[in-house]
Structure 1
C-alpha cells in the first residue's frame, strides 16, 4: 500500500514539475510567422484605459503589426460588473490611437476568462475563414492560452511580451509559473478555466 501511495505521489510530482518546465520553456519562445491576425489577450482596464499589464501586451502587438506579422490585430475580453468599457474595446482604442487604422483592428468584446475569450475568437475566426494567429500575452500565460486557442479550432503560436509587471522580478515570475501550472493542469483535467479576468483566468 505504501509503495502504491508513494508511486502516486511521485507521478503527481513529476507531472507538476514537467508542466512547470514546459510553461517556462514556452515562455522563452517568440514565434512570429506570417498569420491571419495577431490576437491580444485582454487584462484589466480602468474606465477605458488599459492597465500596465494590458498596455505591455498592446505595445508588443503594435510592434508585431508594424513588422508585418499580420494585417489585423484582434483585441479580446469582456467587462466586469459595473464597468463601462470592455477590455477588447479599450485595447482597440489604445491601438487605434497608437496609429493602427480601424480597418486593421477587430474587437471581440467577450469573455470573462481566457477560455471564454479564446472560444469567442475562435468563432470570429470561423466566420471570417481565418485559421492562423500569433497570440500576445504574458510569457507564463502563453502555453495555456495556446492550448485553449487550439481547442477552439485555431492554429497558433505565441509571441509573449517581455515588458510589464508580470516579468519584473524572479519572485513574480515564480509565482506566475506556479499559478499557471495549476491552471493548466486544471484545464487539461476538467476542460474548465480558473476564475479571473480575461488573460488571467
Structure 2
C-alpha cells in the first residue's frame, strides 16, 4: 500500500512539474510573439512607460522608448504623448517629467501635446495612475510604448485597469541589442508575468522594468 501511495505521489509531482514547465514555456513563447507585433491603431494617447533617468537625462532604454513614441506621434497615431513614472529619493525630477522635457526639447513635440503623469515606482502603479488620468479626461484607448519583452505584461495590466491598450514596442536600445540579451530579458519577464496573472501584483521583470 505504501508503495502504491508513494508511486501515486511521485506521478502527481511529476505531472505538476511537467505542467509548470509547459506553462512557463508557453508564456515565454507568447511574450516572444507579442514582442514581435507592432500595433498602431489611432488612439486617444500614446503612453510611454518610464525607465531610469539621471538628473533629468533619460537612460538609453528610456530614450529609445521616447524616440519611438515621437515617431508614432508624427505618424498621427495619437494627438497626445503621455509619459509616466515617478522618482526615487534624492532625484531632482521624475521619469515622467524627464520624458516630457526630452520630447519637448530634442524631440520638438509641442508641450501642449505632452502630459506627464509623475507617479509609479513599477509598471502596475504607473498603469493604474494613467488609468485614473484617462478616466478624468474621458479617454479610453492607448498605444503603449515600452521594450518588446515588456509589452505583453504591460498590455495585460492596462486592460485590467480599464484601458483599451495595444503596444508598439521600441526596436532600439539595450533591450534588443543581441539574441543573448533578448533571451535573458524573456527569461526574467516570464515569471513576472505569471506572478501578475496569479496574484494581481507586480514584481520586477527584466532589468529596468518593474
CA RMSD of aligned residues (A): 1.4
| Structure 1 residue ranges, 4+ long, deviating more than 4 angstroms after superposition | 195-199
Q: Identify if the C-alpha distance between structure 1 residues 6 and 197 changes in structure 2 by more than 3 Å, giving closer, same or farther.
A: closer
* Bigger radius of gyration among the two: 2
Structure 1 residue aligned with 2:83, among 70, 75, 92?
A: 75
2:152 paired with 1:143: yes
2:140 paired with 1:131: yes
Structure 1 residue aligned with 2:174, among 155, 159, 165?
A: 165
Q: Equivalents in 1 of 2:205, 2:94: separation in Å?
A: 15
In 2, are the aligned partners of 1:113 and 1:196 still within 8 Å (CA)?
Answer: no
Q: Identify if the C-alpha distance between structure 1 residues 154 and 75 changes in structure 2 by more than 3 Å, giving closer, same or farther.
A: same
Query: Deviations along 1:37-86, whole A, 9 cap, x unmatched?
Result: 00000000000000000000000000000000000000000001111110
In 2, are the aligned partners of 1:37 and 1:132 still within 8 Å (CA)?
Answer: yes
In 2, are the aligned partners of 1:38 and 1:134 still within 8 Å (CA)?
Answer: yes
In 1, are the aligned partners of 2:189 and 2:205 still within 8 Å (CA)?
Answer: no
Q: CA deviation at 1:169?
A: 0.7
In 2, are the aligned partners of 1:73 and 1:105 still within 8 Å (CA)?
Answer: yes
Q: CA deviation at 1:162?
A: 0.2
2:71 equivalent in structure 1: 63
Q: Equivalents in 2 of 1:6, 1:198: separation in Å?
A: 32
Q: Identify if the C-alpha distance between structure 1 residues 197 and 6 changes in structure 2 by more than 3 Å, giving closer, same or farther.
A: closer
Provide the aligned length of Structure 1 versus Structure 2: 201
Structure 1 window deviating more from structure 2 (16-25 vs 97-106): it is 97-106
Q: Equivalents in 2 of 1:66, 1:80: separation in Å?
A: 31
Structure 1 residue aligned with 2:188, among 179, 191, 200?
A: 179
TM-score (norm 1): 0.97
Q: Which has the higher contact order (CA 8 A, sep 6+)?
A: 1
The gaps in structure 2 that reach 5 residues or longer are 1-8
